[in-house]
């Protein structure tokens, strides 16, 4: 069930619990829905066990005695909720984080005092690090518009700042789904400019305007079908078997994380860790490998080894030439000439 429908049903419940007459015509006008949608929502309420009644004088009503059943949470469930609350509190600026935090607090408030106080004491010794968040509320505003458009199946007019284009991209976007990865929100959808499904980063939207133009989302659309076996977000159309050897210094740390679903690893006699992946595209993983500097060696494929070597040599050249020191002294960052895909983070 879409978020928009959930909101509509909650509003319907609120309206039907008041003392005023609720005629069909009045409700259609107040709720801003069609007759068909209204009766479909009533059927959903009935299926969910929400009792409503109808009479000629007062119209539709829900008895005020109706309330949701109490929730009996166990101690582990309470601790889990509190941990989620701490995590959400560090991400208040993210889309849906503030509503999630409010809901968590409301659930925690229903827990008996002794259990809640005991769990609070335990959680006082738990710390959650704050992840980087966008500098503005642009991501949240775009998320709200896109969420509504996805729920209603309507397109949006957008202006998007692609990192590979100087001018903003003007397009009609038919949004299919929202995706959170690498500390950022993305939308997957069809654009008329690209004539294909693209992944766009929400913080790069310059303008977004909802329209009433409907679109048909492909049946059984899945994000897995779009991303395939990409390292993160950008499939390049060719799979590669990647073999890496990490030094003993970082072997344990790198092996403790599942970086990709195809990952396999084994430790060598000297303490090094050999990791293998089967991934679509080499661009994204090359950047990740460079992050480990001299603690990793690319065994294969040769083209990935060459790419990483060139990137590291280029970095070394900047230091040898004094360019890196000049940048630090001037307090500026040079403009990168490397082209990246729209979805690159």
pLDDT digits (tens, 9 = 90+) for 247-300: 999 999 999 999 999 999 999 999 999 999 999 999 999 999 999 999 999 999
CATH number for the region 138-224 comes to 2.30.30
Q: What are phi and psi of 6, to 5 degrees?
A: -60, -45
Domain chopping of the chain, boundaries: 3-62, 75-123, 138-224, 228-345
Q: State the average pLDDT over residues 109-125.
A: 83
Say whether pLDDT at 155 is over 50.
yes
Instruction: Encode pLDDT of 63-77 as tens digits.
Output: 766 655 566 778 888
Write down the residue that tokens 């009533």 correspond to: 42
The Cα 45–Cα 16 span in angstroms is 11
Tell me if 217 sits within 8 A of 153, measured CB to CB: yes
Dist CA 1 CA 14 (whole Å): 19
Higher pLDDT, 332 or 166: 166
Confidence grade of residue 242 (pLDDT, cut at 50, 70, 90):
very high
- Domain 228-345 -> CATH class: alpha beta
252 contacts 295 by C-beta, under 8 angstroms: no
Higher confidence at residue 175 or residue 40?
A: 175
- Overall fold of domain 3-62: Arc Repressor Mutant, subunit A (1.10.10)
Residue 328, token pair as written in the block: 């630090």
Whether the Cβ atoms of residue 203 and residue 139 lie closer than 8 Å to each other: yes
Lowest mean pLDDT of 15-24, 198-207, 227-236, name the range: 15-24
Q: pLDDT band for position 329 (50/70/90)?
A: low
Compute the distance between CA of residue 261 and CA of residue 295 in angstroms, rounded to an integer: 23
């Amino acid at each position: 069930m879409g978020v928009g429908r959930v909101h509509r049903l909650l509003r319907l419940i609120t309206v039907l619990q008041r003392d005023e007459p609720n005629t069909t015509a009045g409700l259609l006008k107040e709720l801003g829905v069609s007759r068909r949608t209204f009766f479909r929502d009533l059927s959903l309420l009935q299926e969910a066990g929400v009792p409503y009644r109808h009479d000629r004088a007062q119209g539709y009503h829900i008895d005020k005695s109706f309330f949701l059943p109490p929730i009996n949470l166990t101690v582990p469930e309470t601790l889990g909720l509190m941990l989620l609350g701490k995590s959400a509190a560090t991400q208040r600026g993210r889309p849906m984080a503030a509503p999630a935090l409010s809901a968590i607090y409301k659930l925690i408030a229903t827990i008996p005092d002794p259990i809640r106080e005991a769990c609070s004491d335990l959680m006082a010794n738990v710390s959650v690090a704050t992840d980087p968040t966008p500098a503005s509320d642009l991501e949240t505003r775009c998320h709200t518009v896109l969420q509504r458009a996805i729920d209603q199946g309507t397109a949006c007019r957008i202006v998007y700042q692609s990192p590979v284009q100087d001018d903003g991209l003007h397009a009609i976007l038919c949004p299919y789904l929202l995706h959170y990865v690498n500390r950022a929100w993305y939308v997957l959808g069809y654009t008329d400019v690209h004539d294909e499904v693209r992944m766009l980063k929400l913080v790069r939207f310059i303008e977004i305007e909802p329209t009433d133009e409907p679109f048909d989302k492909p049946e059984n659309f899945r994000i897995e079908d779009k991303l395939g076996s990409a390292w993160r977000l950008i499939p390049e159309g060719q799979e590669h078997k990647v073999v890496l050897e990490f030094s003993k210094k970082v072997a344990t740390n790198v092996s403790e994380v599942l970086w990709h679903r195809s990952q396999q690893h084994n430790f060598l006699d000297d303490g090094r860790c050999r990791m293998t992946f089967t991934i679509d595209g080499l661009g994204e993983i090359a950047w990740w490998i460079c992050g480990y500097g001299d603690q990793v060696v690319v065994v294969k494929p040769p083209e990935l080894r060459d790419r990483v070597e060139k990137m590291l040599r280029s970095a070394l050249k900047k230091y040898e030439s004094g360019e890196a020191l000049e940048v630090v002294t001037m307090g500026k960052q040079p403009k990168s000439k490397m082209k990246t895909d729209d979805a690159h983070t």
